[in-house]
Amino acid sequence: MMAGAAEDLRVLFGAGIRAALEAWPALQIAVENGFGGVHSQEKAEWLGGAVEDYFIANADLELEEIEDFLGELMTTEFDTVVEDGSLPQVSQQLQTMFHHFQKGDEAALQEMTSHINQQKCKVAATPVKTATETDVAEDDVDSVEEMEVTATNDGATTDEVCPQPQPSDPDPQTIKEEDIVEDGWTIVRRKK
């Protein structure tokens, strides 16, 4: 392979990595909510280069090694533990791209990258208040907050790619306006 073609292939491999990471909902949520601090966006951009360098430096990576590497980066850089099952999927995508890169299969890399870009979803996370929450100070750094994720499709693909969450049945213990008294306290009533 000529030097120019190898360089073009490496650029394409890097673009594929960045597309896969940008399409990863766990990373999107971490960046949008500033889990990596004020420089979350810069960290996400750096992550693409770090993953690319990791693959180039380690030619025969196993899937578990890729998962461990991505998981460690998400934990250290974004204070995020990925438990939604997406880590193996993203790792598999990246491993497949790397195999195409190693074989010099430019067409397969382009196809994977465009496929990922077509399926890219925009996700939004909103805090969910649970019945088991305690009266802990809002600025408690050790507190855990559940997030509800909503995906919307940015591309021209169908809803099957980014399924919308189904609305749940209304909670029978929903707080009514008349249950909130003037001083901010809420009246809790038993079920009938």
Computed over every residue of the chain, the mean pLDDT equals 77
pLDDT for the residue numbered 58:
93
pLDDT bucket at 36, cuts 50 / 70 / 90: very high
Digit-coded pLDDT (tens) for 103-129 = 999 999 999 999 998 887 655 555 555
The Cα–Cα gap between 119 and 157 comes to 7
Q: What is the share, in percent, of the chain residues with pLDDT greater than 90?
A: 54
Is residue 99 within 8 Å of 16, Cβ to Cβ?
no
Instruction: Specify the pTM.
Output: 0.64
Alpha-carbon radius of gyration of the chain: 21
DSSP-derived letter for residue 152 is E
Using an 8 Å Cβ cutoff, are 136 and 143 in contact? Answer: yes
Q: Which tokens hold the place of 3?
A: 């030097």
**CB neighbours of 25 closer than 8 A, spacing ≥ 6?**
84, 86, 121, 123, 149, 151
pLDDT value of residue 72: 96
Q: Read off the pLDDT band of 5 (50, 70, 90).
A: confident
State the average pLDDT over residues 172-176.
51
d(CA 38, CA 31): 9
Residue 119 has, within 13 A of its CA and on its CB side, a CA count of 15
